[in-house]
């Protein structure tokens, strides 16, 4: 009887088969259980022999079941380890990760620096009306600035005499849109794409600007200079001095072009040192007519505005000589400057 059960246990292929054997031997109606029940009907002499023998059998079968169960679990684990084997010494398969384009990176940086100074962020449409791009900014129809800006006009079918839309030539129209929507006081920057028909090493027909606008009761050019020096120093990570040159824009009065201090050394520009100057933006006090166009009373409010080339300050920071490369989508170029994996 004993060798029979031990043999069956030894042959069990899995845990389910093993459980069947356990029930058949030790379950309520199992063979060994039934035999133990028969002990009651035996004479004391018979019982003295059969009792210990049956108990020993029960113990041995129980132990054998447990041992087999452990062996089956071991085998299952071995099998899993074999199947899930992994060679950690194999060279990894290289995956190329996309990255944020340098112009987007710089836009985010610029936005974060101005946000720290309390500026909100606004955006406007890239296809603009004549009104927002020109007239509201004190550039009437005959104004030479319209011609100078190399404006892209949208096409109108013959007979459609609505005024044409333009691809905005600067981010300044967002000044008007923001004034209309939020009134005064306000502090906002507006980054985005702008368009002019121009193409050479430092000009592409699409480029990026960030507009700045701050309106309050007594905002002055001194506030503008502080904000800009603060911005450039944070952006370039070193104290940067600015130089204001008198200029003219129809939408600011007075107007100034702003240069930052730099040095030219063997063709490379270093910002924040030296005796050279580099023009980076146009600015001024918002013209009363422009405030009016935006629905703000120029007898109560005044403010400054500026427009800065994002691509240009990106070129300066990363030492990139040709603006066009920014928009060629050439992965070799992006990788060379560390902009892509
Ligand atoms: N819009 C001007 C340009 O594109 C820059 C500018 C913005 C100047 C705001 C003054 C005030 O050249």
29-67 per-position pLDDT tens digit? 988 988 888 888 888 888 888 889 889 999 999 999 999
Centre a 10 Å sphere on the Cβ of residue 303 and count the other Cβ atoms it contains: 28
Q: Which two tokens stand for residue 97?
A: 């990760």
Q: At what angle do helices 44-83 and 31-38 cross, to 10 degrees?
A: 160
What is residue 254's predicted lDDT score, i.e. its pLDDT?
A: 97
Centre a 10 Å sphere on the Cβ of residue 102 and count the other Cβ atoms it contains: 21
Report how far ligand 1's centroid is from the alpha carbon of 84 (Å).
64
Closest ligand 1 atom number to CA of residue 283: 10
Q: Which of 128, 167, 170, 228 to mutate to test the pocket of ligand 1 (most atoms within 8 A of CB)?
A: 170
Query: CB–CB of 318/330 below 8 Å?
Result: no
Say how many CA atoms lie within 13 Å of 261 toward its Cβ.
13
pLDDT beyond 90 at 329: no
Report how far ligand 1's centroid is from the alpha carbon of 195 (Å).
14
Q: Which two tokens stand for residue 252?
A: 């600011």
| Residue nearest to ligand 1 atom 7, measured at CA | 307
C-alpha angle 322-192-155 in degrees, rounded to nearest 5 = 95
| Residue nearest to ligand 1 atom 9, measured at CA | 306
Give Cα 334 distance to the centre of its chain.
Answer: 17
Q: How high is the mean pLDDT of the chain?
A: 91
Rounded to whole angstroms, the maximal C-alpha distance in the chain is 131
DSSP one-letter string for 89-134:
TSPPPP-PPP---HHHHHHHHHHHHHHHTT-EE----SEEEHHHHT
Report how far ligand 1's centroid is from the alpha carbon of 127 (Å).
18
Strand positions, DSSP E, 152-234 = 165-167, 186-195, 206-216
| Residue nearest to ligand 1 atom 10, measured at CA | 283
Segment among 25-29, 61-65, 218-222, 329-333 with least mean pLDDT: 329-333
Q: What is the ipTM, given to two decimal places?
A: 0.98
Report how far ligand 1's centroid is from the alpha carbon of 50 (Å).
109
Average pLDDT over residues 194-210: 92
Binding residues for Mg(2+), as ranges, are 253
**Which distant-in-sequence residues (6+ apart) come within 8 Å of 341 by Cβ?**
96, 97, 98, 99, 335
Alpha-carbon distance of 4 to 22, in angstroms, equals 13
Higher pLDDT, 232 or 87: 232
Q: pTM for the complete prediction?
A: 0.73
| Alpha-helix runs per DSSP H in the chain | 2-11, 15-26, 31-38, 44-83, 102-116, 130-133, 144-148, 173-182, 221-236, 288-293, 310-318, 331-336
What is residue 341's predicted lDDT score, i.e. its pLDDT?
A: 62
Alpha-carbon distance of 9 to 3, in angstroms, equals 10
What is residue 239's predicted lDDT score, i.e. its pLDDT?
A: 94
C-alpha angle 295-149-120 in degrees, rounded to nearest 5 = 40
Give Cα 323 distance to the centre of its chain.
Answer: 23
């Amino acid at each position: 009887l004993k060798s029979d059960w031990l043999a069956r246990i030894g042959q069990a292929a899995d845990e389910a088969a093993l459980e069947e054997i356990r029930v058949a031997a030790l379950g309520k109606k199992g063979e060994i259980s039934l035999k133990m029940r028969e002990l009651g009907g035996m004479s004391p002499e018979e019982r003295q022999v059969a009792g210990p023998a049956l108990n020993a059998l029960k113990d041995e079968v129980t132990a054998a079941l447990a041992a087999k169960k452990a062996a089956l679990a071991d085998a299952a684990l071995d099998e899993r380890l074999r199947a899930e084997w992994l060679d950690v010494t194999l060279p990894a398969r290289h995956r190329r990760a996309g990255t944020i384009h340098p112009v987007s990176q710089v836009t985010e940086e610029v936005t974060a620096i101005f946000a720290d100074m309390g500026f909100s962020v606004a955006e406007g449409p890239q296809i603009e009306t004549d009104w927002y791009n020109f007239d509201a900014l004190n550039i009437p129809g005959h104004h030479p600035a319209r011609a100078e800006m190399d404006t892209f006009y949208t096409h109108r079918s013959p007979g459609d005499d609505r005024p044409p839309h333009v691809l905005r030539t600067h981010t300044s129209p967002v000044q008007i849109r923001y004034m209309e929507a939020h009134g005064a006081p306000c502090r906002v920057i507006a980054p985005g794409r702008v368009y002019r028909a121009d193409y050479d090493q430092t000009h592409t027909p699409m480029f990026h600007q960030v507009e700045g606008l701050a309106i309050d009761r007594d905002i002055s050019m001194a506030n503008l200079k502080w904000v800009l020096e603060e911005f450039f120093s944070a952006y370039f990570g070193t104290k940067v001095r600015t130089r204001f040159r008198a200029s003219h824009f129809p939408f600011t009065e007075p107007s100034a072009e702003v240069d930052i201090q730099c040095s030219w050394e063997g063709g490379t520009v270093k910002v924040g040192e030296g005796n050279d100057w580099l023009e980076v933006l146009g600015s001024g006090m918002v013209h009363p007519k422009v405030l009016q166009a935006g629905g703000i009373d120029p007898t109560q409010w005044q403010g400054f505005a500026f427009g800065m080339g994002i691509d240009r300050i990106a070129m300066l920071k990363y030492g990139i000589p040709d603006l066009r490369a920014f928009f060629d989508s050439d992965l070799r170029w992006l990788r060379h400057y560390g902009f892509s994996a």
